[in-house]
Amino acid sequence: MPDTNVIGLHESSASQLADRLNALLANYQIFYMNVRGYHWNVKGNQFFELHTKFEEYYTDLLLKVDEVAERILTLGHTPVHAYSDYVKMSDIAEDKDVHDGQSCVRGILQGYQSLIGLQREILSIASDADDEGTAAQVGDYIREQEKTVWMLNAYLG
Ligand SMILES: [Fe+2]
């Protein structure tokens, strides 16, 4: 079939989705590093609880970094793989020297909200392009992360 890639999607749709997935990848990478920073730098009487919880979050983020990058490859494109590019492409800003537990949790909550927004946009583009693989992947992320947002919000009271 002309104008289709190896998985049968239109080249133009695959290219548009790969661009948005690369933006998503950049956000995941910066957010991952932020959460790692919260894990290292948090102080106070909730240290043990938060230090452990933040490790759970960044471990999951790192798994998704790889899944998003490999989806881009599956679509026939190249995942961005330099931190200098991630910094330029990410909507989530680097967050440094945060020690207060509430501020760390707020940073994580806002990060997940950004990811959910971007993933909804990708879900819509993927659905229009009949790209069930990308739609299902980001759909799963949205469902999981919406639950996480509820929990983080509950934690903050
Ligand atoms: Fe650690």
Ligand 1 centroid to Cα of residue 39, in Å, is 7
Burial class, 73, CB count within 10 angstroms (exposed 0-12 / middle 13-18 / buried 19+): exposed
Tell me the pLDDT of the chain averaged across its residues. 97
Ligand 1 mean position to 98 CA, how many Å? 16
For range 11-21, the mean pLDDT: 97
**Residue 1 pLDDT grade (very low, low, confident, very high; cuts 50, 70, 90):** low
First and final C-alpha spacing in the chain: 55
Share of the chain above pLDDT 70, in %: 99
Query: Whose CA is closest to 143, among 115, 106, 110?
Result: 115
Calculate how far, in angstroms, residue 128's C-alpha sits from the geometric centre of ligand 1.
41
What contacts 137, CB < 8 A, 6 or more positions away? 67, 68, 71
Q: What is the pLDDT of residue 2?
A: 62
Residue 61 has pLDDT above 60, yes or no: yes
Query: What is the residue-wise DSSP string for 9-63?
Result: -BHHHHHHHHHHHHHHHHHHHHHHHHHHHHHHH-BSTTHHHHHHHHHHHHHHHHH
Query: Is pLDDT at 149 greater than 90 in this prediction?
Result: yes
Per-residue model confidence as pLDDT tens digits over 93-105: 999 999 999 999 9
pLDDT class for 30, splitting at 50, 70, 90?
very high
Q: Measure 40 CA to ligand 1 centroid, in angstroms.
A: 7
Å from CA of 65 to ligand 1 middle: 19
